[in-house]
């Protein structure tokens, strides 16, 4: 499996799954744009990627702004010479009951977690078609795109939409040789998890078959596979990286 000389945008690349995926994609030979609202974090990750011997550039982006995503795609082509892949990974969440969730709170998660995937697909695919590139998109969905969770009404809605957009995007773009896939992580051991107390972390880990949180690196290996030619038969599908949660825990 190799991604040598591929040119891939990673949104939300400054931390967590985005950070781990950027490093794994780089190990496979891909040149990267590390895009994040946290520019300092993106620059740190870009430096780590460059140390692996490939090209990497940091870029500050608000993925909820369509003009900003279009500019990101243009930047990628200007700096890397082409665009062969987009990892639509950026996302946010806020635990809040439906009765407390005012329209602004609902809209913010939808804009970042759902609309950004559409913007990445729309501007990225149009650029690939313009360049004659048979590229690949990987979208970050979630186990919560398939099951409900209290306090996650907006997140559930956004991630379910990502799964649907992955299917529809694959169908729409197949004639151009462009693949669209998604990964649905379970409970990942990211810095955000570090804010939880030990009992809360244990309760989440217990919903996995191994009773452990999943490392970002394990999700990154799935992401790298989906971008590779080894996954050429995977199209429109959402691959669960959830340690059995969807198969055995619901």
pLDDT tens readout for residues 113-131: 999 999 999 999 999 999 9
Residue of 59, 119, 144, 155 marked active site = 155
CA distance 85 to 101: 35
Q: To the nearest whole number, what is the mean pLDDT of the chain?
A: 96
User: Do 34 and 58 touch, CB atoms closer than 8 A?
Assistant: yes
- Contacts of 122 by beta carbon, 8 Å cutoff, 6+ apart: 66
pLDDT of 48 over the 90 cut = yes
- Percent of the chain residues past pLDDT 90, beyond the cut: 92
CA–chain centroid gap for 158, Å, is 13
Closest by alpha carbon to 45, among 24, 28, 74, 64?
24
What percent of the chain is modeled with pLDDT above 70? 98
**Phi/psi of residue 77, nearest 5 degrees:** -70, -40
Give the pLDDT confidence score for residue 248 in this predicted structure. Answer: 87
- By residue count, the chain amounts to 250
CA separation for the pair 136, 7 (Å, rounded): 10
Helices (H), 186-250: 198-205, 216-227, 245-248
- List, for residues 187-217, the tens digit of each pLDDT value: 999 877 777 888 989 999 999 999 999 999 9
pLDDT for residue 250: 52
Q: What pLDDT, in 10s, does the model give residues 148-189?
A: 999 999 999 999 999 999 999 999 999 999 999 999 999 999
Confidence of residue 1 (pLDDT cuts 50, 70, 90): low
Instruction: DSSP letter for 213, please.
Output: P
Average the pLDDT over 137-146 and give the result: 97
Fold annotation for 7-189+216-243:
Rossmann fold (3.40.50)
Q: Where are the domains of the chain?
A: 7-189+216-243
Model-level pTM?
Answer: 0.96
Q: In the structure, what pLDDT confidence band is assigned to residue 2 with cuts at 50, 70 and 90?
A: confident
Residue among 139, 140, 158 at smallest CA distance from 148: 158
99 burial level (CB within 10 Å; 0-12, 13-18, 19+) = exposed
Give residue 195's pLDDT: 73
Does residue 29 surpass a pLDDT of 70? Answer: yes
* CA–CA dist 44, 197 (Å, integer): 28
Catalytic (active site) residue 119: no
Q: Give the residue from 55, 69, 47, 59 showing the smallest Cα distance to 3.
A: 55
């Amino acid at each position: 499996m190799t991604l040598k000389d591929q040119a891939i945008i990673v949104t939300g690349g400054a931390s967590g799954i985005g950070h781990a995926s950027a490093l794994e994609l780089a190990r496979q030979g891909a040149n990267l744009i590390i895009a994040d609202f946290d520019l300092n974090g993106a620059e740190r990750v870009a430096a780590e990627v460059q140390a692996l011997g490939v090209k990497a550039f940091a870029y500050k982006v608000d993925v909820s702004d369509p003009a900003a995503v279009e500019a990101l795609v243009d930047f990628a082509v200007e700096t890397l010479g082409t665009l062969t892949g987009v990892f639509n990974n950026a996302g946010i969440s806020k635990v809040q009951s439906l009765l407390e969730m005012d329209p602004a709170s609902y809209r913010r998660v939808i804009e970042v977690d759902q609309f950004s995937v559409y913007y990445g697909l729309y501007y990225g695919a149009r650029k690939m078609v313009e360049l004659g590139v048979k590229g690949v998109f990987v979208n970050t969905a979630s186990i919560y795109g398939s099951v409900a969770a209290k306090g996650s009404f907006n997140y559930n809605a956004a991630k379910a939409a990502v799964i649907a957009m992955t299917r529809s995007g694959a169908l729409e773009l197949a004639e151009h040789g462009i693949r669209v896939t998604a990964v649905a992580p379970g409970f990942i051991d990211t810095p955000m998890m570090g804010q939880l107390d030990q009992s809360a972390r244990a309760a989440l880990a217990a919903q996995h078959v191994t009773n452990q949180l999943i490392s970002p690196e394990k999700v990154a290996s799935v992401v790298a596979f989906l971008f590779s030619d080894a996954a050429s038969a995977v199209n429109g599908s959402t691959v669960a990286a959830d340690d059995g949660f969807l198969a055995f825990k619901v």
